[in-house]
Structures are given as structure tokens and as C-alpha cells.
Structure 1
Amino acid sequence: MPFSSPHLSSLYRYPLKSCAGEALEHALVGDEGLAGDRRFMLARPDGRFVTARTHPRLELMQVQTDDEVLVLRFPGQVALELARSAFDRAPFATEVWGDRFEALTTTREADAWCSDVLEEPVHLLCLDDRSPRYRPSIGQRVGFADGYPLLLIGEGSLDDLNARLGPSQDKPHRMAQFRPNLVVAGSAAFAEDGWRRLRIGEVELGVAEPCARCAMITVDPATGRFLPGKEPLKTLATYRRGDEGKVLFGQNLVVLKEGRLALGDEVEILA
């Protein structure tokens, strides 16, 4: 079937690592990704980071923030509103997938609120305008994201996956399960596998490598619980395994030119 010109159909950021996504109409993109994306993270007292891989209920936490205020919401909890000027901002040693660096503390009140949600002691950490985490493998700074500034997925790729649903899967999988920043409509299934350099709005992006998927995609964002049967990871494993045996879905991006992008912007394939 014919496809319309590829264009940006959805845009998401995740202020807190593993929290609910925030749908945007436009965004500024710097070398570390979308402005405000994954600038907060939860960590245990020993510095180990916490995600929905082990705490799926984190995906029910909604986080709103700007230059002045941070607001945290979770079902059954009284919302917490904090002035960012009140953050302690003390250095705190942490790590993300082997990258060791110092983030900053927020407040004891925030730590207590998040600890109540997760039912174990955690600290709510933040980053300055420039992250101290530098990844030599991509030659860029990155915030609390797993490894790359941005993740892109084509709608056609999700449609292809849902077309393969077995009789035990009674509803289609949602894009929110895969936690992309950029969603592209108007392209064939997995067309993004062949893209190397893109322009969207003012922004130029390099495709670094496919995104290897894990149990995170089996969390239902609507319930904060794991889906039965290890789906959709199980189905993806039947046809989306890479050379190293990893299950691949979506493309990790690096930022080549900063700027602004918005919903509806054409996705130009430069290479």
C-alpha cells in the first residue's frame, strides 16, 4: 500500500526515568535530547538506579516540571509540589548501566514521598542544565536515559507487530509501552532500520543503532503491571532478533544539529 510522506506524528518526554510519558506538541532539542527529558531519576541509597523493570508501578507516576516547580502525582497519593529553588543540590554518586557520575539531590520531602510510592527507601535525583554523564561511545553527554539522547519508532512498525497478535492477546499493544521520544507516521514497517541521518524541523539526527528491548515493554502503562505471557517481547523475539540475539525495536538517535521540532514536521531522510 502507498504511504504518505513520513512526518512526526507523536512527541513524548519522560521527566523522570520510567515515569509516565508527557505528550508534547513541540519541543526544543539539544545535544542531550528533548528539553526536560529524563532529568530526574530514582536511586537506592547505595546509588543504584531504579526503573520500571523492577518497579512497574513507576509508569503510573506523573511528573510535571518547569524552571520553577516540580509536581509529582501517583494514584492514591496526595500530589507533591516542590519549588526547584528549594532543592538541596548536594552531589550524589550514582550510575546508569555502568556509567558512574554524580547527580544532585532534591529534597528529603521528595525522597520520602517517592519512598512511600515504591515502598522502599529511594532518593529523587536531578541533573543540572548540563549532565555530568559523558558517553565516549557516542561522543556526547546524556541525561538519565539508558544510553542515547532520543528513541524513534515508526507507527508502521507497531502496526506490523499488532498484526501478528496471537489468539491469547485480546488487545493491541500501545506505543506507550515502547517509550519513544519521536513517533513517525507515513513510513513502511521498520523503514527506520535503513535510515542513517534525518532532518525533522530544524533538527538533524543521526541513527546510532537499533534499540535492544527488555522486560520494560511488557509493562502495561495503564495499570503499572506486567502483561501476561511476556508479551510483546515473546512475539518480537520470533522475527526481530539481531545478530547478537537481542530483540530490536526502534532506533536510538544522536543529535547532529540542535533546534526546534513540532508535530506534523516532515521527516526528511538525508541518508
Structure 2
Amino acid sequence: MAEIVGVVERLWRYPVKSTAGERLSEVGVDERGLAGDRLYAVRDGEGRLGSGKNTRRFRRMDGLLRLGSRLGHPLHGPELLDPLGRAVSDPSAFLRAYLQRPDVELAREDTVPHLDQLPVSLLTTATLDWVREAVPTALVDERRFRPNILLRTPPGTRPFVEDDWFGREGELRSGLRLAFVRASERCVMTTVAQPGLPYAPEILRAVAKAHDNRLDALATVSAPGVLRVGARLRLL
């Protein structure tokens, strides 16, 4: 029997990877994830993508989280917002000056996927509240963890309840189905300063100690549909 495990409280899309996201009330979802999510990234001359970390695919570019992005029509590209929230007229030129890197550009996804891991990330309020209690000296909200979905769970729900969902599917009334697979392994991005949130290394330390550095539920999309704030998620 299906069980209602929570209600969608907030939706987030990140049109430009590693910049601040935009809050939505409704968005379509297909096998790639939320429409327009991480569709663009800051790419350097070697083809590596701007991020908060260095890997074979990503290059650390400090300052990206102080920028914002929002998506109008996907064919027209995103708006890039400067640290004061103002749209810039030439994103690539702005990024070169802002990052002091002459080889970067704002690039649409092509053969190299922009997603770090799986298409959709969900975080429960039960887990987020645990972080607040574990690190009372830090300013904590979901922007630290960059979920697509913040799910309001019933009172008394235990933290890290997302772990119980791995290997199961969740369904919304629109027909959207999410197959929960695993949690994200957290990195320095959770600690980085961004508008309204100062640098907070203690958050990553707390998550690492209590939960093996993992937090949220990552999912693939089993059936496309629409995500709406206020929608109930049923666990199948």
C-alpha cells in the first residue's frame, strides 16, 4: 500500500551549474531531471566545468555561488546574475572578468553531462532540522545542500529517513515517478559562503561524523510528469 511521506515545500532549479538557484512553483521533469536544471555551466578551455571542487571533469572556480541564474525560454539561454542580483548583458565576458580566467565561457550541455550524479535530489525537512540542531552556531538552510526538492515530512519523522527509500519509488499525482537510488556524498560546497550564508566548515564535519558524509536522496526519473509545490509524495 502506498504511503504519503511528505509534501513538496520548495522547488529549486540551478540553470547554471554551481551558481545559486531559482525557486519555482511548478516545473516539468523528464529523464534528464527538472527542465533546464544545470543545462548550462561555466566551461574552461580544457572542457572542465566550473564547480566547488577539482576532479577530472570539474575545475574549482571560487565565487560562482555568489552569482545567481534564472531561466526564461531554454532556447534563449539563462540570465546570469551578478552578486547584487543584477542580470549581466554578456555572461561569458562577465565571467572572464569576474573569475579572472580568460578561457571560460557560459556553455550549454553537449556530450559532457553537467550533473554531478543523478538527475533529481530530494532533501527532507527532518534531515535539514537535524543539521540545524547538530550545528547550532551555523546558519543552515537547504541552499547549502542544493536540492531540487525540499520535502516537508510529518512531525516526528527521524532524520536521514531518506535512507529508507533507496530501492523504492515515489509517485506524485501528476504521474511523475522517482526511483530513489542513494545519497549524495557531500563536499566543500556545503561550507562555501553565499548570499545570506557565511562560510561554515562545521556543517560538513557534522555530516561526515554522523552519517558518513552523505545527505539527501538521489533519484532517477521512472516516469515523466510535473512537480508542484504542495504536491504529496507517495512511497510505493
Aligned positions of 1:230-245 closer than 5 A: 230-241=201-212
User: Within the alignment, does 1:252 sit opposite 2:227 as a pair?
Assistant: no
CA distance in 2, matches of 1:61, 1:224: 13
Displacement of 1:33 in angstroms is: 0.3
1:144 to 97, 107, 114: 114
- Helix, strand or coil: the match of 2:18? coil
- Helix, strand or coil: the match of 2:210? coil
Aligned length: 218
- Helix, strand or coil: the match of 2:63? helix
Match of 2:152 in 1: 185
2:82 to 74, 79, 87: 74
Letter in 2 for 1:235: A
2:99 to 98, 105, 118: 118
CA distance in 2, matches of 1:69, 1:158: 32
The 1:240–1:214 alpha-carbon spacing in structure 2 relative to 1, beyond 3 Å, is: same
Gap runs ≥5 in structure 2: 54-59
- Structure with bigger strand share is 1
Letter in 1 for 2:160: F
Letter in 1 for 2:107: L
The 1:152–1:5 alpha-carbon spacing in structure 2 relative to 1, beyond 3 Å, is: closer
The 1:42–1:224 alpha-carbon spacing in structure 2 relative to 1, beyond 3 Å, is: farther
**Contact residue 20 and residue 65 of structure 2 kept, 8 A:** yes
Gap runs ≥5 in structure 1: 82-108, 134-142, 242-246
TM superposition score normalised by structure 2: 0.84
| Amino-acid identity (%) | 26
CA distance in 2, matches of 1:11, 1:206: 18
- Helix, strand or coil: the match of 1:220? coil
| Aligned CA-pair RMSD | 2.1
Which structure would you say has the larger Rg? 1
- Helix, strand or coil: the match of 2:98? helix
User: Within the alignment, does 1:59 sit opposite 2:59 as a pair?
Assistant: no
